[in-house]
């Protein structure tokens, strides 16, 4: 048995073996793109290293660039060596690359799909049985319906005796109408059970652990409601600018890029009710209920509950950096936001009256993604606060990046002869608690897609419910030419965002 075929016990992949992974051929459309190089290929290598890939596994890259199979294998090897979270083992790497094929051509060329069908059939013949097929769409969004419909035209959406699945990257539409139309076109070819709409945030350990944290610990559930929780803040801050992504980002912006998908999914995990069981459909049913309880904002509401801004020139990362409008590839007088913030309410029995603050932005003071849950202050404070560093409401902070973990902020006495109180932190960090490196999100998500477990993927009604919340804001902002408020690169963000907060609330420092 080769290194690739072995499945040793390993705490890193604990839980990956919940369901067997059938022999599978994975096809990556956009196989020479940045996502494939930086994330998908390293994820496949690390799964191979852990023995988590099925015994018979094949990888087919599809891209418009003409190249020989050996050239593509060399590119795969270089990507893995450059971006894997661990130094490659030569035997494992060779075993993985031995199962790689390449099909060149444009995504609207029928010959590509005929050649792809031939390659897939040859794998089946060699295996002596039909292999499962998974098609990963790592392309620009305009090619999603093109590829899906071409797969259907070549009857590659079904495979007798095996399963066929399609994995679709974000963004899933740029508006409610586009998302609904894309859903219609995809579901004309594939059944919903075959479709895996990927959101890599949901593959992180902290997001998955949020369910365990909430529903495996009786300590927190009695407090997890409007009677004890004062507010919830969700932050996705980056310290970098748009880099070379102007072509995409200048037509997207922070609201579409992060809030509509990633951050609303995080909100769902915080606010959802306990599912009857942890099957995919029950978990996703509860998330949809949360989204349906958030009322779509009206035109009158938007100025009071949404803020946008652009970064200006400033100092970040130890150097002077340009403002957004001076970045290469950005349209002159662009009104695309690099910072977006919303105040939302989940109007149900558990959460009525609790504000959920969401913010996402680029060129901020530091890179951090976190969820901060602030409890209500104690009803009566018997301590003399003079000389104390401040008695603050308890906070529970779940950090997704850069250091995954959970922090509980408490008030404690300062050592000495006086009763002086200061905030202290109780911390749980994945790296130190388990003495192992967490898998990358794409490792878990690729495995779940090949296994056919959609729990961490977004269902069609979830996507449309998310757009129903954000679409009115998108339309209102597009109708207003600006200019947008500015904030200095490397700062905390625009001053205008303070207007979203209710009395007594403050934004956590980034």
Side-chain half-sphere exposure of 77, counting CA atoms within 13 A: 16
Longest dimension (CA), the chain: 82
- Residues sharing a CB contact under 8 Å with residue 184, sequence separation 6 or more, in sequence order: none
Strands 164-168, 195-197: pairing is parallel
- Secondary structure (3-state) at 150: helix
Measured from the Cβ of residue 26, the count of other Cβ atoms closer than 10 Å reads 23
The order of strands in the sheet holding 195-197 is: 100-104, 57-63, 24-29, 132-137, 164-168, 195-197
Report CA-CA distances (Å) from 341 to 22, 276, 296, 329: 43, 33, 15, 25
Please give the backbone phi and psi of residue 408, each rounded to the nearest 5 degrees, phi first: -115, 120
- Which residue from 262, 273, 236 is spatially nearest to 371, judged by alpha carbons? 236
Query: What single-letter DSSP state applies at residue 336?
Result: -
Angle between helices 280-292 and 264-271 (to 10 degrees): 100
Local structure of residue 298 (DSSP, 8 states):
P
| Lookup: tokens for 37 | 């190089």
Burial of 346-371, coded b for 16+ CB within 10 Å and e otherwise, reads beeebbeebbbbbbbbbbbbeebbbb
- How many residues are given for the chain? 510
Q: Residue 311 in 3-state DSSP?
A: strand
Core vs surface per residue 306-324: b (16+ CB within 10 A) or e: bbbbbbbbbebeeeebbbb
d(CA 47, CA 215): 28
Angle, vertex CA 137, rays to CA 136 and CA 142, nearest 5: 170
DSSP per residue, 411-459: EEEPSSSS--EEEEEEEEEHHHHHSSPPPPHHHHHHHHHHHT--TTSB-
Report CA dihedral (197, 201, 205, 208) to the nearest 10 degrees.
-60
Cα 367 to Cα 70: distance, rounded to the nearest angstrom: 38
| Catalytic positions, written as ranges | 262
The torsion defined by the Cα of 70, 74, 80 and 82, in degrees rounded to 10, comes to -170
């Amino acid at each position: 048995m080769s290194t690739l075929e072995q499945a040793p016990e390993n705490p890193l992949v604990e839980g990956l073996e919940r369901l067997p992974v059938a022999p599978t051929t994975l096809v990556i459309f956009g196989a020479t793109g940045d996502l494939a190089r930086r994330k998908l290929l390293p994820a496949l290598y690390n799964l191979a290293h852990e023995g988590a890939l099925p015994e018979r596994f094949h990888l087919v890259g599809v891209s418009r660039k003409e190249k020989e199979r050996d050239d593509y294998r060399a590119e795969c090897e270089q990507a893995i060596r450059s971006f894997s979270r661990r130094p490659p083992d030569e035997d494992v790497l060779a075993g993985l690359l031995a199962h790689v094929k390449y099909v060149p051509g444009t995504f609207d060329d029928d010959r590509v799909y005929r050649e792809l069908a031939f390659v897939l059939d040859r794998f089946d013949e060699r295996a002596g049985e039909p292999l499962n097929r998974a098609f990963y769409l790592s392309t620009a969004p305009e090619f999603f319906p093109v590829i899906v419909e071409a797969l259907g035209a070549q009857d590659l959406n079904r495979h007798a005796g095996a399963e066929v699945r399609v994995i679709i990257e974000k963004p899933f539409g740029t508006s409610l109408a586009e998302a609904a139309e894309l859903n219609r076109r995809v579901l004309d070819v594939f059944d919903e059970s075959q479709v895996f709409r990927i959101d890599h945030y949901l593959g992180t350990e902290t997001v998955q652990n949020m369910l365990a944290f909430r529903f495996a610990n009786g300590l927190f559930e009695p407090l997890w409601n409007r009677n004890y929780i004062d507010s919830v803040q969700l932050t996705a801050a980056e310290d970098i600018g748009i880099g070379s992504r102007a072509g995409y980002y200048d037509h997207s912006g922070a609201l579409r890029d992060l809030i509509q998908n990633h951050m609303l999914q995080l909100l769902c995990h915080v606010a959802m009710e306990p599912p009857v069981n942890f099957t995919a459909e029950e978990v996703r049913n509860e998330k949809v209920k949360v989204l349906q309880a958030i009322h779509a904002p009206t035109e009158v509401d938007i100025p009071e509950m949404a803020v946008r801004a652009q970064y200006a020139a400033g100092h970040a990362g130890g150097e002077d950096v340009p403002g957004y409008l001076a970045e290469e590839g950005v349209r002159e007088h662009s009104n695309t936001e690099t910072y977006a913030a919303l105040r939302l309410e989940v109007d149900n029995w558990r959460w009525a009256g609790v504000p959920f603050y969401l913010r996402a932005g680029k060129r901020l003071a530091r890179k951090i993604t976190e969820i901060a849950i602030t409890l209500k202050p104690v009803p009566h404070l018997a301590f003399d606060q003079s000389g104390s560093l401040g008695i603050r409401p308890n906070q529970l902070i779940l950090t997704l990046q850069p250091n995954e973990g959970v922090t509980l902020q408490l008030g404690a006495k300062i050592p000495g002869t006086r009763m002086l109180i200061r905030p202290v932190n109780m911390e749980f960090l994945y790296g130190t608690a388990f003495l192992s490196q967490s898998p990358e999100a794409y490792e878990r998500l690729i495995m779940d897609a090949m296994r056919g477990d959609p729990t961490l993927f977004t269902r069609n009604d979830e996507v449309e419910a998310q757009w129903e919340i954000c679409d009115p804001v998108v339309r209102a902002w597009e109708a207003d030419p600006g200019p947008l408020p500015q904030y200095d690169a490397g700062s905390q963000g625009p001053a205008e965002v303070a207007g979203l907060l209710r009395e007594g609330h403050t934004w956590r420092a980034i």
